[in-house]
Structure formats: C-alpha cells, structure tokens
Amino acid sequence: MRWIALVVVVVGLACGSVAAQETAAEAEATYQLNPGDVVRISVWREEELLREARIQPDGTVSYPLVGSVPAAGQTPDQVAAAISDRLARFIPEAVVTVELLEAQGYRVYVIGEVDRPGEYQLSQPITVMQALSIAGGLTPFAGTRGIQILRTSTAEQQRITFDYKAVASDGQLDRNIFLEAGDTVIVPSSFF
C-alpha cells in the first residue's frame, strides 16, 4: 500500500509540474512585448540570421534585411509573423521564431498600504493578487474596498476598481485582473 501511495504522490507532482509548465507557456504565448525586453529571433535553416535584440524605447526591434519592426504591444508570435512577411521577398516561406529571453520591460507598481510598496520587474504577466503578494501583502490598515489599478494605454489613462473581497473571500477568480506593463496598483488606507 505504501508503494501505491508513493506512486500516486509522484504522479500527482508530475501532473502538477506539467500544469505549471502549461500555464507558463500560455502566459508567454500571450505576453505582449515591451520596450526593454530582450528577444531571440531566428529563421529556420538560416543560422546567420540568429540574433538577440532589445525592444527599443520607440517599441521597435531591428532585424537584418527588414529594418525596424513594431514589437511593443505584440506577442512574440505576432512579431515573428511580421518579420516573416517582410522576409518573404528574400526568403520565401521563412519560418521565423521570436523567443522572449528577458522581460525587462514588464514592470508594475504597487503603492499604498502594502508591506513593501515599490516597482516590481517581472518575467511574465501577473494578477493583482499576485502583485499584492509580491509586495508583502496588505498592512493591517489597508482598505480592501477601494483598491484601484491605474492603467495607461496609448495616451489615455484608466482607473479600474479591483474587488478584493470577491476574489479573496468569495472565490470569484475570474475577477482577478491580469496587470499590464506599467500598471499601478493603489491600496488605500481603511481610514479614508
């Protein structure tokens, strides 16, 4: 019986590891590149076109034969498709791969009533609850009803209300918002 229990535990751990890998792969597939990120660009059977490149402050990445390609706000797969399209006149049916090496540009900010407010540079998209955890959790003085997310997309700024109780106590996980690069999570004091 002990051996069966051990096998069940090992299989359970392996399945958990596979699920974690799938979640990480899904996050990377949907990750939108940001200025400062480092990517590896390759073309199948064209070793001389293997490059590591940093997304420039203007949101582009430079690549031989095609010049500057818009990258910020795009997934690695979208950038690969754009490079492939531009390479078509030189290399018909080029198979391009863009791989995220360093997510230098994915930064979020957590301020207010958390133990460690500040800027956090992360390697993949995270949710509000994860950001609060990274920031050390809420202080005893935190007001959970008024948590806000400030988001700047293009030139417009949005204020999004986060319902902490719905996620933490009521288990409404679909309300746990994924943060975008540059988002600021504001945790107010319960005294205001």
pLDDT one-digit tens code per residue, 116-148: 999 998 877 899 999 999 999 999 999 998 999
The span from the CA of 82 to the CA of 76, in Å, is 10
Q: Which CATH number fits domain 107-187: 3.10.560.10, 3.40.30.10, 3.30.70.1230, 1.20.1250.20?
A: 3.10.560.10
pLDDT digits 0-9 by tens, 16-45 = 444 434 444 555 567 889 888 999 999 999
Residue 6: DSSP 8-state: H
Which pLDDT value is given to residue 155? 72
Domain boundaries, the chain: 38-102, 107-187
Which pLDDT value is given to residue 104? 81
pLDDT > 70: percent of the chain: 83
Top-level class of domain 38-102: alpha beta
**3-state class (DSSP) for residue 126:** coil
**3-state class (DSSP) for residue 117:** coil
User: Which of 100, 57, 55, 59 minimizes the C-alpha distance to 77?
Assistant: 100
Better pLDDT: 107 or 154: 107
Highest mean pLDDT among 23-32, 110-119, 144-153, 169-178: 110-119
Average pLDDT for 102-119: 92
